[in-house]
Amino acid sequence: MIVPLHTILGVSAILFGIGVFGFLARRNIILMFVSVEVMLNAVNISLVGFSQYFQEPHGQVVALFVIAVAAAEAGVGLGLLIAINRNQTGSSVGDLTKLKW
Amino acid sequence: MTLLTGTFYYLAAASAGSALLAVTRKNPVHSMLWVLALFLHVAGIFLILGAEFLAAVQVIVYAGAILVFYLFVLMLLDLSAEESQSRFGTHWPFAAMVGSSFVILVWITQIERSESIATTTDPSHPLGSVADIGMALFGPFALPFEIASLILLAAIVGAIILARKRTAKK
């Protein structure tokens, strides 16, 4: 084992924290999606770390599913963004007040 | 510290730094380029952890397909109007607090120092080979694999329906 498990989990936690900060703080929808991708990458790192720790390929298979779901999320989210941009310009969440009561 | 351990610490530091730059740059295209750096460094971490197939998928799917998709959508939108606005909401200190509370998890992981299980790896049969992952995908994970393909199909149809220009019905 090259790196102990707690180091891998620490890297994963730092990346996840950065992703959470970006998702909550940014106002641009595209940058919020990118922060979600950062969080998914952090989870993938810990899954691969567990996979190496337990010497099982299952963690890597689950990470593969995470990548598939990330691709689906990007497709639907950016499709929504294009649909929103057809009616109004700007991709800031501050502009999306249609559902506000 | 061996060479591989040093490489791991470099990749970890570089991915954390590029992630931080990606979520804080003002220009969205610069953010995308830093995210590209993040994806490539994470692929390097996968390589060191013995997941060669996943590293290849990371480069092909994430850095190749998803990132190009994001860049295409960025080019469709008006960036100049975006850059004049402030990049963070007024609540960003709270967001920083929530984000750093996850970083506190690092210290919790340091308390429970894990000892590595005595690895009896057979060098002729390394973990993470494509054959291993293929056997797992079509053995115990066959149903989730089919569901993932269904999710991707639903995403394709949904994205087309959402982004298509609506034409008036006759």
Q: Kindly state the average pLDDT of the residues A63-74.
A: 92
Q: What residues of chain A lie within 8 A of the CB of B126, using their CB?
A: none
Contact A86 B165 (CB under 8 A): yes
Q: What is the pLDDT of residue B118?
A: 46
More confident residue, A87 or B20: B20
Contact B112 A67 (CB under 8 A): no
Q: What is the pLDDT of residue B36?
A: 94
Say if CB A26 and CB B23 are below 8 A apart: yes
SS (H, E, C) chain A: CCCCHHHHHHHHHHHHHHHHHHHHHECEHHHHHHHHHHHHHHHHHHHHHHHHHCCCCHHHHHHHHHHHHHHHHHHHHHHHHHHHHHHCCCCEHHHCCCCCC
Residue in B64, B61, B40 with CA at minimum distance from that of residue B148: B61
pLDDT band at B147 (very low <50, low <70, confident <90, very high): very high
Residue in A5, A100, A90 with CA at minimum distance from that of residue B8: A5
Model-level pTM? 0.87
User: For residue B119, is pLDDT > 70?
Assistant: no
CA B76 to CA B65: how far, in whole Å?
17
Query: Nearest-CA residue of chain A relative to B145?
Result: A65
DSSP-assigned beta bridge partners for residue A92: A28
Lowest mean pLDDT among A31-45, A69-83, B46-60, B126-140: B126-140
Contact A67 B58 (CB under 8 A): yes
More confident residue, A40 or B25: A40
Q: Which of A24, A26, A64 sits opposite B98 (nearest CB)?
A: A24
The torsion region of residue A88 among left (phi > 0), alpha (psi -120 to 50) and beta comes to: beta
User: For residue B15, is pLDDT > 80?
Assistant: yes
Residues 60 to 119 of B: which have CB under 8 A from any A CB?
Answer: 61-62, 65-66, 69-70, 73-74, 76-78, 81-82, 85-89, 91-92, 94-96, 98-103, 105-106, 109-110, 112-117, 119
Lowest mean pLDDT among A90-99, B56-65, B147-156: A90-99
Contact B128 A51 (CB under 8 A): yes
Contact A21 B96 (CB under 8 A): yes
pLDDT in tens, B63-111: 999 999 999 888 887 666 666 677 777 788 888 888 888 888 777 767 6
Query: Nearest-CA residue of chain B relative to A80?
Result: B162
The tokens describing B140, both together, are: 């115990």
Contact A28 B141 (CB under 8 A): no
Q: What is the pLDDT of residue A67?
A: 93
pLDDT in tens, A3-49: 888 888 889 999 999 999 999 988 888 889 999 999 999 999 999 99
The tokens describing B117, both together, are: 């299980």
The residue whose two tokens read 């991709």 is A91
User: For residue B126, is pLDDT > 70?
Assistant: no
Give this complex's ipTM: 0.90
Q: Tell me the pLDDT of chain B averaged across its residues.
A: 83
